[in-house]
Structure 1
Amino acid sequence: MRKFLIGLGASLLAIGHAAAEPAMWKASDEDSEIYLFGSIHLLDKGAPWQTEALDKALSLADYYYYELAMDAEAQALMQTLALQYGTAPEGKTLSSYLTEEQKTAFDAAVTSYGMSPATLEPYRPWLAYLTLSVVSVQAAGFDPASGVETIMMAQTDDEKERYFETAEQQIRFFADMPDDVQAKLLVTVVEQIEEGPEVMTNMANAWRSGDVQTLDEIVNDSMADVSDEVYQTLIVKRNKAWVEEIRTLMEGDEEAVIIVGAGHLIGDDGVPALLEAEGIKVERIQ
């Protein structure tokens, strides 16, 4: 059974309202402290997750690093680029990327959310996948306006915000995948919808409780099971690029908080582990 639901930052949900302590790490050297906090991009409104440790780190930081800018201009650009890279070439439709059985299951999933499958026919599989992923999550009552980045960006100084990636980079992580890999992603989200919300609930609970081992199994191991190319593209290559930027940042004497998708901070390929492999002191503080 495939267990994950990929978004542009891997994990997507948090469910419930009990006290939470999502995992956080601190990387440090003689004159730098870099805090690493894993984000969830869509949350149910009002679910608590900020802690004293996170608030303290935010109050000390010189800079705040996010995956991507999320203001109105950035979101408009993302939508433009999604259509630019996500529209099927002339003579192709979404159905042409799927088997007859897969298309039947996809149509049923889309219809269950009150959508017409015909509206997605002009899309390449990766864009149909992301569209269906977001629709299914929002239908369950979760909202990007309550997500970690949205909340954090409202609290952090715009002039001190920095971003690891551009909108085009994030779009092309998906758009540059081979068509058959894109189709696997689409089939996977359809299968997860058929299985119900249990997997998402387990993932959310693992994040909220700081259970990184379970989160790694649900998100990263399952992603690799679907396609190693997806895992390498969405997790490993990006983590390695971010580690290089963090190393450069630590050459100065500044403090920073890095807020990226939780899937990027866990497991052997996670940013904390890669930093440790570079000889940088890393400790989990929450």
Structure 2
Amino acid sequence: MRIYNVLTVIGLFFCMRLFGVIEPEPAMLWRVSDADSQIYLLGSVHLLRPTDYPLREIYAVAFDQVDGLAIEADVSQENAISNYVQENAFYSSGTISQDFSLSTITKLRTWFRQSGYQFSSQYQPWFLATLLLEVEVLSEGPFTASGVDVSFLEQANDRGLPVEYLESWQVALDYLTSMPPEIAEETVLEILNSGNQAINDLNFLIDQWSQSDLAAMEYYIDEEYNGGPQNPLSIAGRNLSWLSAVRDYLGDDRKFLIVVGAGHMVGEYGLPQLLENEGYKVERLPEEPWAELSNPQVDAQANILRTNIQGAMGRVCKIETSADLSDPNSWEVFDTFTFTDEQTTIEIPYSRTDDAMFVRGKIVE
């Protein structure tokens, strides 16, 4: 709870979050704005469990505010993608023995035989890691629900909203095929040695995302692709390449929700930090209801107190006033309204002869 003492004729101006409740936890959602436009950035995961739905209410509220959706890449071109995978799944020269140890290859041969797949020594490391991940973790684990991006894509299509993409599907797949052999072998061994552990790790990662634990997200973002911003296929490099598109959205009359993997939101090359560096206002939005009053001013001629109020989108807020803070029954409802994503100015009758006025924004369900 925060109390602002205003040493003017209005007495004590009262500002609080949920009146006696601690600060709300943030969501994996940012609002980015300049003088006359704004967008939303949502850090997502690309696969979920059925129990992870429904998503946080604040995400749906933000989506209701927008005119369009942008996601990482269009992966609906299945034939082109399948052909691309086939073209890049094999060595043009050489075999897996030049990148994987003999013991790993022996384990792989056993797995292929037991799983009913045909082993080829010309499979690329990234393909082997992806195949095992698909068969042993994704198909066997509880990750059967659509990811966040797919969920919003389906909703955008239902609403007839425009859908745009930050990069081509080929760039997204190049990111996958650029997996270093040592990382691919590490992934293969982890799955072969303990498929359940891989499932547990993924469950844990989704749990951390659900709790909006940005620090955990940053910790779990592997650096294998992150040779730094110089590498256009690294997370940092891709973020930098997306900036021009994000600037265009901020210059558009339409308001967009941009949904990308949570890994693109963390660190000094995360999208929120890059945009803040460029001078945009970047706010990480809270999940829980909140109301914040600010900038109280008295219009003596009109006998009005003006104050700004802003809060969690979609929440219903009561503006209450009191002349005696010591009396909990003295609060009276002055107005009730629903927050949008814009700051609102409210005007409350106020007489200079009053000794004090107390104002609060209180969230109601």
TM-score, length-scaled by structure 1: 0.78
Aligned pairs for 1:1-286 (under 5 A) are 23-71=28-76, 74-89=77-92, 91-107=93-109, 114-116=115-117, 118-135=118-135, 136-143=137-144, 146-157=146-157, 160-175=162-177, 177=178, 182-193=180-191, 194-195=193-194, 196=197, 197-218=199-220, 220=221, 223-224=222-223, 226=224, 228-229=226-227, 232=231, 233-286=233-286
Q: Deviations over 1:160-191 (max 9, x none)?
A: 0001111222222343x3xxx63122112124
Q: CA deviation at 1:249?
A: 1.9
Unaligned runs of 5+ in 2: 1-24, 287-365
Contact map agreement 2:99 2:182 (CA 8 A) in 1: no
- Alpha-carbon spacing, 1:108–1:149, altered in 2? closer, same or farther (3 Å): farther
Q: Deviations over 1:176-215 (max 9, x none)?
A: x3xxx63122112124323513322321111010001011
Q: Distance in 2 between the 1:57 and 1:107 partners?
A: 49
Q: Distance in 1 between the 2:225 and 2:271 partners?
A: 21
Q: CA deviation at 1:126?
A: 1.7
Paired residue secondary structure (2:188): helix
Rg comparison, structure with higher value: 2
Q: Distance in 2 between the 1:273 and 1:209 partners?
A: 21
- Alpha-carbon spacing, 1:109–1:238, altered in 2? closer, same or farther (3 Å): farther
Alignment-derived partner of residue 14 in structure 1: none
Q: CA deviation at 1:62?
A: 1.7
- RMSD across aligned positions (CA): 2.6
Contact map agreement 1:35 1:257 (CA 8 A) in 2: yes
Greater alpha carbon shift after TM alignment, 123-132 vs 60-69: 123-132
- Alpha-carbon spacing, 1:160–1:241, altered in 2? closer, same or farther (3 Å): same
Give, as a single letter, the amino acid of the residue that structure 2 aligns with 1:127: F
Contact map agreement 1:43 1:146 (CA 8 A) in 2: yes
Q: How many residues align?
A: 253
More strand by share: 2
Give, as a single letter, the amino acid of the residue that structure 1 aligns with 2:32: A
TM-score, length-scaled by structure 2: 0.63
Q: Distance in 2 between the 1:58 and 1:110 partners?
A: 44
Q: Distance in 2 between the 1:44 and 1:58 partners?
A: 21
Q: CA deviation at 1:250?
A: 1.2
Contact map agreement 2:226 2:234 (CA 8 A) in 1: no
Q: Distance in 1 between the 2:267 and 2:120 partners?
A: 35
Paired residue secondary structure (1:215): helix
Contact map agreement 1:69 1:163 (CA 8 A) in 2: yes
Q: CA deviation at 1:265?
A: 1.1
Q: CA deviation at 1:97?
A: 2.7
RCO higher in structure (CA 8 A, sep ≥6): 1
Contact map agreement 1:213 1:267 (CA 8 A) in 2: no
Q: Distance in 1 between the 2:217 and 2:120 partners?
A: 31
Unaligned runs of 5+ in 1: 1-19
Greater alpha carbon shift after TM alignment, 28-37 vs 118-127: 118-127
Q: Distance in 2 between the 1:110 and 1:274 partners?
A: 44
Paired residue secondary structure (2:142): coil
Paired residue secondary structure (1:163): strand
Alignment-derived partner of residue 15 in structure 1: none
Q: Distance in 1 between the 2:120 and 2:257 partners?
A: 38
Q: Percent of aligned pairs with the same residue? A: 24
- Alpha-carbon spacing, 1:228–1:40, altered in 2? closer, same or farther (3 Å): closer
